[in-house]
Amino acid sequence: MSFKALGYSIKQGFINIKRNKMFSLASVGTMVACLFMLGVFLGILINFMHILKNAESTVTISVFFNKELTPEQIADIGKNIKERPEVDSVEYRTAEEAWKMFSEEYYAGDSDLLASFGDDNPLGDSDSYLVTLKNMKDQEELTKYLNNITGVRSVNSPQSTMESINKLNGIISITSIALIVILFLVSIFLISNTVVVAISVRREEIAIMRYIGASDGFISGPFIVEGVIIGTIGAIIPVGLLYGLYFALLKFVEEDLSGMASWLQLMSPNQIFIYLAPICVVLGIGIGLIGSIHTVRKHLKV
């Protein structure tokens, strides 16, 4: 298509949208909802993975021993654990150290809660190994292995928390994906309908164009442009909204949730939007193209 024809198509595409405000608005609105939800979902997912990755490097498994074990036996167990391929490091920790560290990490800034424990060390008076994993996915297997070592009294791993977070993550993902797929289909359907209306408004004009000898590309150009414009607007709005909201969220986390901030490390907006913005725009334009090209093929028989 020539430059001139492209200019014509763009101009006529905008005219189509102006003539057909209701349908265009409905299409844009649905796309905004669709891509906004996708953005929220992706934002959560990207941050979630980020947090998990941070957590991976810090998550440790505590291994406690029976009291009657000799220091040699304990050292042996430590050596065996260390030899496991999935283990990153093993550290020996006395009961006092463990309690101090635990209380600092989990009750930081909450002295009331800490005080309620009094002088009771809930970890008992046993020493432990602190095992760090290379990869968190091996956690379940390693826990099983540790539990089976004779002389080990108990294994304390954050497994159940991780499991429920993973489960929640799964539920959120499936629901979001289902919703997004539905909204995508609705978006395509609405854009298609918008283009059908635009074509029917221009029926006469199209017939005349055909008699005059306009090429198929020239005839269908404005309608495809119309779809792409709707798709692009429908993508830019949610990206803008998400950007604003994300800033607000970051501020909220920083100011009001500073107590949790040690593990709630959100990514910077730029880190996220470098992925999110192109994904949304490509999807928006893609939906616009699919919706309009499909319709133009069907209704203009080009």
Partner 1 sequence: MVDFNHVTMVYPGGNKAIDDLNLKINNGEFVFVVGASGSGKSTLLKLILKELSPSEGRVTVMGNDLSTVKSKGLPLIRRQMGVVFQDFRLLKDRTIYENVAFAMQVVETPKRDIKIRVNELLSMVGLANKEKAYPDELSGGEQQRVALARALANRPKLLLADEPTGNLDVDNANEIMKLLERANARGTTVVVVTHNMDVVNSMRKRVITLSHGILVKDQPEGYISNEF
Site residues for partner 1 per CB under 8 A: 2, 4-5, 8, 204-205, 207-216, 218, 302
Shortest distance (Å) from residue 179 CB to partner 1: 41
Nearest to 217, CA basis, from 9, 64, 3: 9
CA distances from 171 to 14, 36, 140, 233 (A): 41, 19, 21, 30
* Residue whose CB is less far from partner 1, 8 or 145: 8
| Nearer residue to partner 1 within complex by CB, 8 or 14 | 8
**Which of residues 174 and 302 has its CB atom nearest to partner 1 in the complex?**
302
Neighbours of 92 (CB within 10 A): 13
Q: CB 198 → partner 1: shortest distance, Å?
A: 14
In the complex with partner 1, the residue whose CB is nearer, 15 or 186, is 15
Q: How far is the CB of 211 from partner 1 (least distance, A)?
A: 5
Indicate the residue among 11 and 251 with the shorter CB distance to partner 1. 11
Q: What does the H/E/C string look like for the chain?
A: CCHHHHHHHHHHHHHHHHHCHHHHHHHHHHHHHHHHHHHHHHHHHHHHHHHHHHHHHHCEEEEEECCCCCHHHHHHHHHHHHHCCCEEEEEEECHHHHHHHHHHHHCCCCHHHHHHCCCCCCCCCCCEEEEEECCHHHHHHHHHHHHCCCCEEEEECCHHHHHHHHHHHHHHHHHHHHHHHHHHHHHHHHHHHHHHHHHHHCHHHHHHHHHHCCCHHHHHHHHHHHHHHHHHHHHHHHHHHHHHHHHHHHHHHHHHCCCCCCCCCCCCHHHHHHHHHHHHHHHHHHHHHHHHHHHHHHHHCC
Q: Cα(236)–Cα(63) distance, rounded to whole angstroms?
A: 52
- Least separation in angstroms between residue 192's CB and partner 1 is 22
Residue 270 beta carbon to partner 1: minimum distance, rounded to whole angstroms: 44
If the CB atoms of residues 248 and 302 are measured against partner 1, the closer one turns out to be 302
Q: Which is nearer to partner 1, 112 or 211 (CB)?
A: 211
Q: Considering the complex, state which of residue 93 and residue 202 has its C-beta at the smaller distance from partner 1.
A: 202
